[in-house]
Amino acid sequence: MKFRSWILIFLACNLTFSTISAFRLSRSQPTERISGSAGDVLDDNPVGRLKVFVYELPSKYNKKILQKDPRCLTHMFAAEIYMQRFLLSSPVRTLNPEEADWFYVPVYTTCDLTPNGLPLPFKSPRMMRSAIQLIASNWPYWNRTEGADHFFVVPHDFGACFHYQKAIGRGILPLLQRATLVQTFGQRNHVCLKEGSITVPPYAPPQKMQSHLIPGKTPRSIFVYFRGLFYDVGNDPEGGYYARAAVWENFKDNPLFDISTEHPTTYYEDMQRAIFCLCPLGWAPWSPRLVEAVIFGCIPVIIADDIVLPFADAIPWEDIGVFVDEKDVPYLDTILTSIPPEVILRKQRLLANPSMKQAMLFLLNGLARKLPHDRSVYLRPGEKLLNWTAGPVADLKPW
């Protein structure tokens, strides 16, 4: 190893020890209020400013699908299920569609799982088309805007493109072009993210997270932590794994980096012992690691140049996490060890703020901030903008 590398590691270790010592103090410190728009959003109650009508669809679009495979309740795409449950009992729900600001269509498009739990989205376009045809035939509200005041939860890897390798070629389902999409996929300048979409975090089962909590006074003795694949040559449609490969090639032997492809049973406990948790892009820029890091107070190190983060218009991600350009991965050790302890402590205090976990409140305020709808969303009598026969022939088959 070159002399300069030894010097870097020596300096890094000294800073790491001081950072860990500082963190021991931070565990007992009060949390810090989220400043700026995030604090404003959390102080702003959407009840009274927002009314949502939830369509009552036949159970084949949601409940029966879940009954067939209850695993859908706990996978990271379960936002579509919990959104419906939340809205059905929410004070923003209205039973009178005439007074609704938004219309929600509860369709579980990712609850078709392989034996190992991966969603099969290939039937989703037909299922979604069927649901839209149903509401357009039985209610007048879709037709007056062609969906511009409707929102759908599409939590698949590539959102409403409903595919993996062919996502770019397919694009967003044509019938959803005017609707607001609530999705976990967020990547700038990508065909699977349309303007006006609301990016949300993937679902993290609260009971599971709670069961892995460790005592609050446990010191964070791991400097950098990551578990996951570093290479996925045969299953990487957009080449996103090169950043992960760079992490492995540069830091597999660095004592500051606890990184591995193994996924131990202590994964969540280890995150709570770590100061920084790497969140590099893979198939897509987003990853459940980002949510897990926030939940467990581990500062997320976001390595995804084009990522659109959840509730980016409200949450001060720059204050909470660390952003590293993909090209700068080889300098990751220098970047992280140069962050002053007081900056790390402030990020940890912000992460400890319980408001950071109020995803539904952020979402409702995201919908409320889009109001009132511009009059241009309402179509003139007889006007049609959407092409109901557009898309692959297979998508037009009955569901």
- HEC states along 203-223? CCCHHHHHHCCCCCCCCCCEE
> Who has greater pLDDT, 281 or 252?
252
User: Residue 119 half-sphere exposure, CB side, CA atoms within 13 Å?
Assistant: 28
What pTM was computed for the model? Answer: 0.84
373-390 pLDDT, tens digit each = 999 999 999 899 999 999
Q: What is the mean pLDDT of residues 328-341?
A: 97
DSSP state of 152: E
End-to-end Cα, the chain, rounded Å: 61
Q: Would strands 257-260 and 274-280 be described as parallel, antiparallel, or unpaired?
A: unpaired
Taking residues 256-270, what's their average pLDDT? 95
Average pLDDT over residues 11-40: 41
Give me the chain's average pLDDT, please.
86
Confidence (pLDDT) at 278: 96
- The rounded distance, in Å, linking the Cα atoms of 220 and 239 is 33
Write down the pLDDT at residue 31. 59
Q: What is the distance between the alpha carbons of residues 341 and 305, in angstroms, rounded to a whole number?
A: 25
Q: Supply the pLDDT for residue 231.
A: 74
Lowest-confidence pick of 30-34, 94-98, 360-364: 30-34
43, 46, 49, 53: CA torsion to nearest 10: 180
Look up tokens 């072009």; give the residue.
177
Taking only the tens place, the pLDDT of each residue in 152-198 is 999 988 899 998 878 888 999 999 999 999 998 888 889 999 999 99
Q: Is residue 366's pLDDT more than 60?
A: yes
